[in-house]
Each structure stands twice: as structure tokens, then as C-alpha cells.
């Protein structure tokens, strides 16, 4: 509850710096937990290098998109990916080359940067893909609020429906508790959450009609389940139950944002299509 109060205050305040600090803090914590899980499994990775790159990408994204918007995003993203790829090779140069360890360290580090830092940065891009208001204040943070609420409605629907009437396992080799009934509940609840936000904030979400709300609710519901299962696959592979213990009753920060890692890019490209 406290996190929701903080997030709502930051979003409605319109303070860009505080908002990006919130995104960066959540993303950095998720990245820290990812590398900790890799280390827990006894696998090689460049944790410090990965965290520095992740923090740099969060700060750099804000500075770039704040100054230039998302139109030149392609060149920026290519530059970020080049730094990630060339950086892990440069980091490995200063380590012994023995067996498969160098490939493992580079692969796990690069995957973490793409999976957590790069995907979570789409939240920052959503803020700036929507034109500012006449007063110069950004409006994109309300679409981030919409995304978070709809994604969490999807998670809630999957849990409530799956735990009560779920009978048919979806992917038992990854998550035995996930059912096809819960999968249906995820996008039904996501659509309901989408309608609710559009009804409550029509002026703030002026690009979204009920038709767009239906389509987005359906797509976000599916992407949220895929994002949750993807993190479950990583946790099962590394032998941990939760990504961390930062959030009682939830687990770690990565457990909180796993669905958003897949729904944020989807939301960004959908908005990019609408805003044109």
C-alpha cells in the first residue's frame, strides 16, 4: 500500500526527476536481484559491471528522452546495445580464459542487462512518447499509471481465478500453480482494469478509447502472464523461490516488476502507433 501511495503522489505531481528516480530505483533493484540469483546458482557473471551499465542506462535514457523525445530513440537504443555488447567483451579481457566460464559470464551479464535494464527502460520512453501538455508538463506518466494498474489487474485476475477454479495446468514444468483458467482470468481482469482507468481519467488518457482499452487490456493480460512465467523460469533454473526478500508477501523487486518487463514495450509501441 505504501508503494502505491508513493507512486500515485509522484505521478500526479508531474515531477519528472522524482518519477525517473522511482523507475530507476525499481529497475536497479530488480537488476541487483537478477545478478544475485545468477551468483546463487553458482554461475559466472559480471555483477558490478552489469549494475553500473544498468544504472547508466536508466540515467542516460532519462537525459536523452527528456531533451529530445522518443523520435530519435532508434540511434540511442543501438548505442546502448553496443555499449552492453562491447562492454562485456572488454570486461572479459581482464579475466582468465578458462573453459566455458568467459562465455557464461558474458552471456549471463548481457542477458540480465537486456532482460531487466533494457526492457524496464521502456517505462521511461512511455513518459515521453506522449506530447507534453500546453503548460509544458509531461502527460506520459499517466499512461505509465494505466500500464501498471492494468498489469497488476492481470496478475490479480490470474491469481484469483486460478486459485479458485483453476483445474488445467498451463506449464507445470515451470509453474505448477499456473492454470489455463487463470490465464483467461488474467486478460479478463486486465480489460476490466483498462476500462476503469479510462473511465476515471478520461482527460489524462485522451488517446485511449474503449476500443483501444479493450485491445490493450487483452494484449497486456497475455504479455503479463508471459512475463510472470519468464521470471518463474529463471527462478526455477537458479534454484530460488523468490528473487529476494525486500517485499514481504511478494518476494523481491523482480517478483514485483516481472510482468511489466513484457507489458512496457508493448504499451510503448502501441502508443507510438496512436500518437503518430
pLDDT tens for 102-131 read 888 899 999 999 999 999 999 999 988 888
Average pLDDT, the chain: 87
- Cα 191 to its chain centre, rounded Å, is 19
* Residue 248: predicted pLDDT: 65
pLDDT tens for 26-61 read 999 999 999 999 998 888 899 999 999 999 999 998
- Give the pLDDT band of residue 227 (cuts 50, 70, 90): very high
CA distance 46 to 87: 10
* Residue 266 pLDDT > 90: yes
CA distance 228 to 250: 13
* Residue 212: predicted pLDDT: 93
* Residue 65 pLDDT > 90: no
pLDDT tens for 240-260 read 887 776 776 677 889 889 999
Nearest to 205 by CA among 135, 122, 147, 259: 147
* Residue 8: predicted pLDDT: 64
pLDDT tens for 142-167 read 999 999 999 999 999 998 988 888 78
Grid coordinates belonging to 27: 529497475
* Residue 239: predicted pLDDT: 86
Q: Could you tell me which residues come within 8 angstroms of residue 275 by beta carbon, excluding any fewer than 6 positions away?
A: 129, 130, 131, 207
CA distance 196 to 204: 13
pLDDT tens for 175-200 read 888 889 888 999 899 999 999 999 99
* Residue 148: predicted pLDDT: 92
- Higher-pLDDT residue of 17 and 33 is 33
H or E element: which one contains 179? strand 175-179
The phi, psi pair for 91, rounded to 5°, reads -65, -40
CA distance 228 to 189: 16
Amino acid at each position: 500500500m505504501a508503494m502505491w501511495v508513493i507512486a500515485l503522489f509522484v505521478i500526479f505531481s508531474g515531477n519528472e526527476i522524482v518519477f525517473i528516480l522511482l523507475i530507476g530505483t525499481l529497475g536497479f533493484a530488480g537488476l541487483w536481484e537478477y545478478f544475485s540469483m545468477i551468483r546463487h546458482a553458482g554461475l559466472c557473471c559480471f555483477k558490478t559491471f552489469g549494475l553500473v551499465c544498468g544504472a547508466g542506462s536508466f540515467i542516460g535514457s532519462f537525459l536523452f528522452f527528456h531533451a529530445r523525445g522518443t523520435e530519435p530513440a532508434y540511434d540511442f537504443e543501438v548505442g546502448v546495445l553496443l555499449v552492453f555488447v562491447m562492454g562485456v567483451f572488454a570486461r572479459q579481457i581482464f579475466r582468465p580464459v578458462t573453459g566455458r566460464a568467459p562465455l557464461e559470464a558474458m552471456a549471463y551479464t548481457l542477458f540480465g542487462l537486456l532482460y531487466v535494464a533494457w526492457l524496464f527502460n521502456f517505462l521511461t520512453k512511455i513518459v515521453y512518447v506522449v506530447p507534453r501538455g500546453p503548460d509544458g508538463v509531461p502527460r506520459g506518466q499517466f499512461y505509465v499509471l494505466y500500464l501498471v494498474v492494468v498489469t497488476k489487474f492481470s496478475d490479480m485476475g490470474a491469481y484469483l481465478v486460478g486459485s479458485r477454479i483453476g483445474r488445467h495446468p498451463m506449464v507445470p514444468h515451470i509453474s505448477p500453480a499456473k492454470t489455463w483458467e487463470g490465464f483467461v482470468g488474467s486478460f479478463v481482469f486486465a480489460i476490466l482494469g483498462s476500462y476503469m482507468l479510462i473511465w476515471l481519467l478520461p482527460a489524462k488518457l485522451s488517446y485511449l478509447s474503449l476500443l483501444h482499452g479493450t485491445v490493450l487490456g487483452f494484449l497486456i493480460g497475455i504479455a503479463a502472464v508471459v512475463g510472470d512465467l519468464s521470471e518463474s523460469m529463471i527462478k526455477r533454473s537458479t534454484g530460488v523461490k523468490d528473487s529476494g526478500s525486500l517485499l514481504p508477501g511478494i518476494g523481491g523487486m523482480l517478483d514485483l516488476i516481472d510482468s511489466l518487463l513484457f507489458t512496457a514495450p508493448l504499451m510503448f509501441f502501441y502508443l507510438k502507433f496512436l500518437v503518430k
